[in-house]
Amino acid sequence: MALTSLLVCPDAKAVQVLRRILEDMGIAVEVCGDLRMAQARLADRRFDALLVDCQNEPAAVELIAHARNTAVNKISVAIALVSGRNEVRDIIAKGATFVLYKPISRERAAHSMRAARSLMRSERRIRPRIPVQADTSIAYAGNEDVPAALVDLNEEGIALRSDGKLPPYCKVYFQFALPGNTSLIRLSGEVMWQDSSGRVGIRFAQVPQTSRRVLNDWIKANPASLSDAAPAESPVSTSGDDESLRLSASLGLLSASAGDRRNLSRHPCRLGAQIYHPHSRVPTRCALVDISDGGCYVETAETFPSGTTLEIVVRTENLRLAIHGEVQSTHRGFGMGVKFVLRNDDQRKQVQQLIACAQAEPKLLI
């Protein structure tokens, strides 16, 4: 395995969940339950990621600070495992890259570790890119058929060029045909970075089996085109602003700048929900991954045609929200863009409650 991690945690259940996720992502795991032993390991061995349980916050912060002061682990990704009792902002200020809240759930931890992995050192030349020139159109965050040009790709991700800036940390849906091949590849991915020239790095998130087969066959048939450049998820070079944008894309903590945050009406989220359509009272389970005053994006494998009216139901511990909408766009196998249909103040109030529910998680939680 090319990437390594040190997991410092006395909680056996959390260790089991995190270890499986890390190893599934190709990250070797060394587990240490003692903070002093972990400090000794950090002094003589390099780790790409350091995960520290902050149950003993002073000692955990000291360990993170120690890693930052070593030559070999100065730039390691430090992930603090915290609870509501911890002073999260202080932990971030002392050197943690980001935090993961306890109790550790598999879904949330997997989502967070995919973001963390994009910040770890590049596995250069292990998965080289293949330069490719092809036009495509992409859809993201309520935008449909946005023109883009493919730049290069490998089995794990793709780089493209777009005239407009994509939102950090967003899902992108697109389909394209590779040169010399008429079969369409249809997939979704996550924005990992973008630079000032309009290049965007996307890591594949969901690739249907048929599309994966076409992609892999094309890559095998084009070995002479392999490039020694960096993998698609890592830019060749970044300025300070570009690096900040890449960080925000990976961690979901920022939206490029404070000014941009004030103007953004869309809110990234991940809320479990159910949707109903007029011809069936059997609910379809889904996740809301993007929401605004006017609509949301519903991530689900079962999609409906544009124009279909839906009822979206979100249940929390304290309330049940039911909001009506109409499908505006469909990405088969991935999800739908839905426009809210609001007829009175009570319905508009429910949308505001839903947005508040999406924002209820701490800002540093990813």
Q: Taking a C-beta distance cutoff of 8 angstroms, is the pair 335, 300 a contact? A: yes
Nearest to 202 by CA among 172, 164, 179, 182: 172
Enter the tokens of residue 27: 């990250």
Enter the tokens of residue 60: 């955990």
How far is 312 from 333, CA to CA, in rounded Å?
Answer: 19
Within a 10 A sphere around the Cβ of 44, how many other Cβ atoms? 8
Looking at residue 266, its pLDDT comes to: 62
For tokens 């306890």, the residue is: 102
Looking at residue 7, its pLDDT comes to: 95
SS3 365: strand
Beta bridge partners of residue 345, listed in sequence order: none
Looking at residue 125, its pLDDT comes to: 39
- Terminal Cα distance for the chain, rounded: 25
CA angle 193, 153, 182 (to 5 degrees): 130
CA angle 139, 228, 167 (to 5 degrees): 25
Q: Which helix (H) or strand (E) holds 358?
A: helix 345-358
Q: Taking a C-beta distance cutoff of 8 angstroms, is the pair 1, 27 a contact? A: yes
Looking at residue 231, its pLDDT comes to: 38
Looking at residue 247, its pLDDT comes to: 35
Nearest to 195 by CA among 151, 227, 165: 165
How far is 290 from 170, CA to CA, in rounded Å?
Answer: 9
Show pLDDT as tens, one digit a residue, over the chain (366 residues): 468 899 999 999 999 999 999 988 888 899 988 888 898 888 878 888 999 999 999 999 999 999 988 878 888 889 999 988 888 888 888 888 878 888 888 887 887 787 777 777 544 334 567 888 888 888 887 777 888 888 888 888 888 888 888 876 678 888 888 888 888 888 888 887 776 667 888 888 778 888 888 888 888 888 644 333 333 334 333 333 333 333 333 333 222 223 333 333 566 677 788 999 877 778 888 888 778 888 888 888 788 888 899 999 988 766 788 899 999 877 766 778 889 998 888 888 888 888 887 766 433 333
Enter the tokens of residue 218: 């094309």
Q: Taking a C-beta distance cutoff of 8 angstroms, is the pair 157, 129 a contact? A: no
Q: Is 295 exposed, middle or buried (0-12, 13-18, 19+ CB in 10 A)?
A: buried
Catalogue all structural domains in the chain, each as residue range(s) with its CATH number: 3-117 (3.40.50.2300), 130-257 (2.40.10.220), 265-358 (2.40.10.220)
pTM assigned to the model = 0.40
Q: Which residues, including other chains, have CB under 8 Å from residue 47's CB and lie 6 or more apart?
A: 4, 5, 6, 30, 41, 73, 76
Looking at residue 24, its pLDDT comes to: 83
DSSP structure class, residue 144:
E
Beta bridge partners of residue 4, listed in sequence order: 28
Residues 325, 329, 335, 337, CA torsion sign: negative
Looking at residue 59, its pLDDT comes to: 94
SS3 301: coil
For tokens 């947005």, the residue is: 355
